[in-house]
């Protein structure tokens, strides 16, 4: 399994990766992207099974990125990891194509709960 973690914060990417390991994704290959453009390059290279994406990023928001990804790779599960918790914002994420939403901060168990139905490890 290959997981793409997209967040403009290197610290947050590190926290997400550590949480993935703690949640049991020890054998997953994790690829990082610091923004939407880099994420699209990594996706174009192929082999990504799951994308975890921040919402608030410079240049292109996570929601806009999900819309682009879903046009190109409709079957790729995308989970948003965000501080945005309003019902309206969550609805926008789901309408864009997100398969799940995790609100920061989160325990590793939350990753397990949201990701388990989406992955075949």
Q: What is the pLDDT of residue 71?
A: 93
Pairwise CA distance, residues 105 & 36, whole Å = 22
In contact, 112 and 24? CB cutoff 8 Å? yes
- CA-based nearest residue to 95, from 73, 116, 78: 78
97 vs 100: CA distance, rounded Å? 9
Q: What is the pLDDT of residue 120?
A: 66
Contacts of 61 (CB under 8 A, 6+ apart): 36, 55
- Stretches in the chain below the pLDDT threshold 70: 120-121
Distance CA 76, CA 117 (A): 13
pTM, full prediction: 0.94
- pLDDT for the residue 68: 95
The pLDDT, as a whole number, for residue 108 is 86
Q: What is the pLDDT of residue 85?
A: 84
CATH homologous superfamily of 2-116 equals Response regulator (3.40.50.2300)
Q: What is the pLDDT of residues 59-76, one digit of tens each?
A: 899 999 999 999 999 999
pLDDT reported for residue 37: 94
């Amino acid at each position: 399994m290959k997981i793409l973690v997209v967040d403009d914060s290197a610290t947050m990417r590190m926290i997400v990766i550590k949480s993935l390991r703690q949640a049991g994704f020890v054998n997953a290959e994790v690829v990082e992207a610091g923004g939407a453009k880099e994420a699209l390059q990594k996706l174009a290279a192929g082999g990504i099974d799951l994308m975890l994406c921040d919402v608030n990023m410079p240049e292109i928001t996570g929601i806009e990125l999900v819309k682009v990804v879903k046009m190109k790779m409709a079957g790729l599960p995308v989970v948003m990891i965000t501080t945005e918790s309003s019902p309206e914002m969550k609805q926008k994420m789901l309408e864009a194509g997100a398969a799940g939403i995790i609100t920061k901060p989160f325990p590793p168990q939350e990753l397990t709960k949201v990701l388990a139905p989406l992955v075949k490890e």
